């Protein structure tokens, strides 16, 4: 299995995925809340919006702005079950396991941390 950095490199090859970047207000929010809080938000968003086996508004459940995790989800193809299936081979119509939820959150956080590193 690929590591998170290899997955992020693959995602950068996508014109759509690579155009997502954190904005100054996102960096400020992360600075105010801390990465631990952002990670807890990620777990909460994934548990509620992505983990269920059936999602009524799948494909539209993740906003394109408003929170650094939302931006990261689009950048990492973890925004809906269709993207999870296409990019990460996690099938639709089954509840995400704890392992899969951890994978998604760790990938999101790796992307956010890379954004922070590249900002400085």
Give a three-class secondary structure readout of 39-91: HHHHHHHHHHHCCCCCCCCCCCCCCCCCCHHHHHHHHCCCCCHHHHHHHHCCC
Q: What is the mean pLDDT of residues 20-26?
A: 96
Residue 20: its pLDDT value, please? 95
pLDDT tens digits for 57-112?
777 878 888 899 999 999 999 999 999 999 999 999 999 999 999 999 999 999 99
- Spatial CB neighbours of 98, under 8 Å, sequence gap ≥ 6: none
Does the pLDDT value for residue 3 go beyond 90?
no
Does the pLDDT value for residue 1 go beyond 60?
no
Percent of the chain with pLDDT over 90: 78
Q: Do residues 65 and 26 touch, judged by C-beta distance below 8 A?
A: no
Work out the mean pLDDT of the chain and round it to a whole number. 93
Q: Could you tell me which of 2, 1, 4 has the C-alpha nearest to residue 75?
A: 4
Residue 58: its pLDDT value, please? 79
Does the pLDDT value for residue 46 go beyond 60?
yes
Residue 56: its pLDDT value, please? 81
The CA–CA distances, whole Å, from 87 to 11, 13, 72, 84 equal: 9, 12, 14, 6
Residue 21: its pLDDT value, please? 96
Residue 5 Cα to chain centre, angstroms: 14
For tokens 């290899």, what's the residue? Answer: 6
Q: What is the mean pLDDT of residues 11-31?
A: 95
């Amino acid at each position: 299995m690929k590591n998170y950095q290899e997955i992020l490199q693959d995602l950068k090859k996508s014109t759509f995925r690579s155009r997502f970047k954190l904005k100054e207000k996102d960096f400020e929010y992360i600075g105010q809340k801390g990465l631990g809080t952002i990670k807890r938000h990620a777990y909460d968003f994934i548990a509620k919006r992505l983990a269920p086996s059936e999602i009524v508004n799948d494909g539209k459940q993740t906003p394109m702005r408003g929170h650094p995790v939302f931006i990261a989800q689009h950048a990492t193809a973890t925004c809906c079950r269709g993207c999870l299936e296409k990019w990460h081979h996690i099938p639709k119509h089954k509840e995400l396991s704890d392992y899969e939820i951890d994978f998604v959150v760790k990938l999101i956080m790796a992307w956010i941390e890379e954004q922070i590193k590249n900002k400085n």
